[in-house]
Structure 1
Amino acid sequence: MNTKAYGAHAGDKPLEPIDIQRREPGAHDVQIEIAYCGVCHSDLHTVRSEWGGTKFPCVPGHEIVGHVTAVGADVTGFKVGDTVGVGCLVGSCQHCSACDGGLEQYCENGFVGTYNGPAADAPGHTLGGYSQRIVVDDKFVLKIRHPEAQLAAVAPLLCAGITTYSPLRHWNAGPGKKVGIVGIGGLGHMGVKLAHAMGAHTVAFTTSEGKRQDALDLGADEVVISRNPDEMQKHAGSFDFILNTVAASHDLDAFTKLLKRDGTMCLVGVPEHPHPSPNIGQLIFGRRSIAGSLIGGIAETQEMLDFCAERGIVSDIEMIPIQQIDAAYDRMQKSDVKYRFVIDNASLTA
């Protein structure tokens, strides 16, 4: 089925209108007309081949919200007209211990990404949400229960939302816990909202004094300017958990010393260059941990979407037509967005 999309034919080429083919829905497939697609930093890294291994033509986009337009004969959980989402995964082996445990993101045989993953369909790799429609195995489709007016702002929950929700849940953020969120960007702003909604005492860390009020408005109980040693010292040894969303290489010691005994700092950003080696003494003498976390499985992503729908939580977004995507990428690299771009996919046919 011919489908309008935006993609790139090489890492040094801009995104441009292209026609792609989507398969007809098989027995277990759901066909989705895409209304909105969030713009993730991973899109930029992949389409510009900054991580290597990009397959071209590349159509990015893994924060997808839309409506079901067809279902396969064996699909029972979705019907035409349903509002649904698709996140970073569209496939996994379904038989390893990770998949059996609902942790498809850690599939031992490799999950299938929503774009740039292996596919039987032409052109041999998956093509993402910068397109009119997508066809996805029903196991990887999610129910969206937010009202229609919020759907654009729901899209980033499919990546930024679950990337922060999963570690907060895993390390039991909640009442009686002191939780830090490092970085107030696309991920960090969701971390602040979610930690606050879970009932944790939430402290936002930013390098910018100008973001202090923004962080408080997002739900932070306190804001610390991480470049200010006195502000940092006041919190030494006091955090149960710190979620570090900063992808740039930086000194981790400044934050590990803020952890209580048995506290954990979880990293969710992959730096272009390695972080300086941390002071192991700080870990040993406080039984502290540095950990990592990757998105979430399908069941947990559904749990996150339901949690957010019940509480009216969405991302803070700036909507753009697809024709402005390269300019949006340039602005993202300068952190010039509050806090996530979302594409109005109706613009594909404008």
Structure 2
Amino acid sequence: MKVDAFGANGPDTPFAHLEIARRPLRPNDVQIEIAFCGICHTDLHQVRDWPNTRFPCVPGHEIVGHITAKGSAVTGFETGDTVGVGCIVDSCQECEACEAGLEQFCAKGFTGTYNAPTQDPPGYTMGGYSRSIVVDQDYVLAIRHSQQDLAAVAPLLCAGITTYSALKTWKVGTGQTIGVVGIGGLGHVGIRIARALGANVVAFTSSDSKRDEAARLGATDVVNSRDSGDVGRYTEKLDFILNTVAASHDLDPYIALLKRDCTMAMFGAPNKPHPAIDVRLLFRRRRSLSGSLLGGIRETQEMLDFCAKHEIVADIEMITAHQIDDAFDRLLRNDVKYRFVLNAKSLARDKDAL
């Protein structure tokens, strides 16, 4: 099956219309007509920065849409269902991690929604900047938000599960005070989820313009991360820190804010290493510095249901296919509040499709 898509033919070429192949339905597959696809910083890195990219590259791993066909063995979904596809479309299903529902840690490596090796033409996966996609039902997620919120649900398939999984892993909940460093695509969703879990949230931002934004999102206090005195108000007072900043920065001031036996989890992947930490900060209060990666399929479904119950979505700016390059440029400048979402109808060759 041929479908309309937008992709890049090289790291320095603009996005353009492509016609790509989707595999015929297998017994366990569903075919999804894509309504919206979020645009993630990973998409930008994959197209413009990382050396392992296969071209033409069609990014997109924050997919929402509706099932238009299903294979003969599909039991969990029906035609017309509203569903999502996140960052994982396959895994070995045999290793300890997969059996535990932690496909993101598959011993053989999970199959990403784009740029991952596959037996299907053209030999690697192509993502959600397309009109439809075919996915094994075991990697498809039910979406129970209202239809009017679907575009704003899309970023939850990456930003939502990334923050939710960490907050659940480190048992964040009622009565705790946690820090969220960086109020961007991940941070703004993390604040909302942490508040819904019952925690008090201290937002750390270097931008004074985001102080009111952080409060609107649910932060109980906002700290200027460039002001050591302001940061120091929380020395040894935080139960957990969600650090979403991708730029290289000094971690010591944040580690010092943790109580005994508490953790700061890292999510941003900087283009150059963070400065070396003072390990004595870890010794003195048995603190931990850790990281987290996405979440498994079961946990992603749990996250979506939790967010639907608490009416949590992302703050988005809708774009069309012909605005993708501009959106990537703006991502580089952090010029979005807080996630771009692509209207998939605009991917048709006919610009009048909208």
String of CA shifts for 1:70-123, please: whole Å, max 9, x gaps: 010000001100000000000000000100100000001000000001111111
User: Alpha-carbon deviation of 1:344?
Assistant: 0.5
* Equivalent residues in 2 for 1:16-55, closer than 5 Å: 16-48=16-48, 50-55=49-54
What is the letter of the counterpart of residue 22 of structure 2? R
Q: How does 1:266-305 map to 2 (within 5 A)?
A: 266-305=265-304
SS, match of residue 161 in structure 2: helix
Aligned-partner SS, 2:331: helix
CA distance in 1, matches of 2:321, 2:254: 38
CA distance in 2, matches of 1:76, 1:250: 48
Out of 228-237 and 82-91, give the one that drifted further: 228-237
- How many percent of aligned residue pairs carry the same amino acid? 60
Cα deviation 1:25-64 (Å, max 9, x = unaligned) = 100001000000000000000011x122001110000000
2:257 aligned residue = 258
* Residue number in structure 2 paired with 1:57: 56
- Provide the rounded CA distance (Å) in 1 between the counterparts of 2:265 and 2:20: 38
- Equivalent positions of 1:269-348 (< 5 A) are 269-348=268-347
SS of residue matched to 1:179: strand
Which letter does structure 1 place at the counterpart of 2:166?
Answer: P
| CA distance in structure 2 between the partners assigned to 1:113 and 1:325 by the alignment | 21
Distance 2:107 2:268 in 1: 21
Equivalent residue, structure 1, for 2:96:
97
Query: 1:12 — aligned with what?
Result: 12
Aligned counterpart, 1:188: 187
Classify the secondary structure of the residue corresponding to 2:180: strand
- How do 1:219-230 and structure 2 match up within 5 A? 219-230=218-229
User: Structure 1 residue 201 and structure 2 residue 196: aligned?
Assistant: no
TM score, norm. by length of structure 2: 0.98
Whole-Å separation in 2 of the counterparts to 1:168 and 1:14: 37
Q: How far has the Cα of 1:240 moved from its partner?
A: 0.7
Partner of residue 82, structure 1:
81
Cα deviation for residue 263 of structure 1 reads 1.0
Q: State the AA in 1 paired with 2:161.
A: I
Tell me the SS of whatever aligns to 1:187: helix
In the alignment, residue 189 of structure 2 is paired with which amino acid? M
Question: Which aligned pairs between 1:229-248 and structure 2 lie closer than 5 A?
Answer: 229-248=228-247
- Moved >3 Å (runs of 4+): none
Once the two structures are superposed, what CA deviation does each residue of 1:224-250 show, in whole Å capped at 9, x if it has no partner? 111111111111001110000001111
Q: Distance in 2 between matches of 1:167 and 1:125?
A: 29
The aligned counterpart of 1:162 is 161
For 2:23, give the aligned amino acid.
Answer: R
Distance in 2 separating the partners of 1:325 and 1:283 = 43
TM-score normalised according to structure 1 size: 0.99
Which letter does structure 1 place at the counterpart of 2:115? Answer: N
Q: Give the counterpart letter for 1:82 in structure 2.
A: D
Q: Distance in 1 between matches of 2:197 and 2:246?
A: 24
CA distance, structure 2, for counterparts of residue 270 and residue 335 of structure 1 = 15
AA of the residue aligned to 1:26: R
- Which amino acid in the other structure matches residue 21 of structure 2? Q
Give the 3-state SS of the residue equivalent to 1:56 in structure 2: coil
* C-alpha distance in structure 2 between counterparts of 1:93 and 1:270, whole Å: 26
Letter of the aligned partner of 1:14 in structure 2?
A: P
Count of residue pairs the alignment pairs up: 349
Whole-Å separation in 2 of the counterparts to 1:203 and 1:191:
11
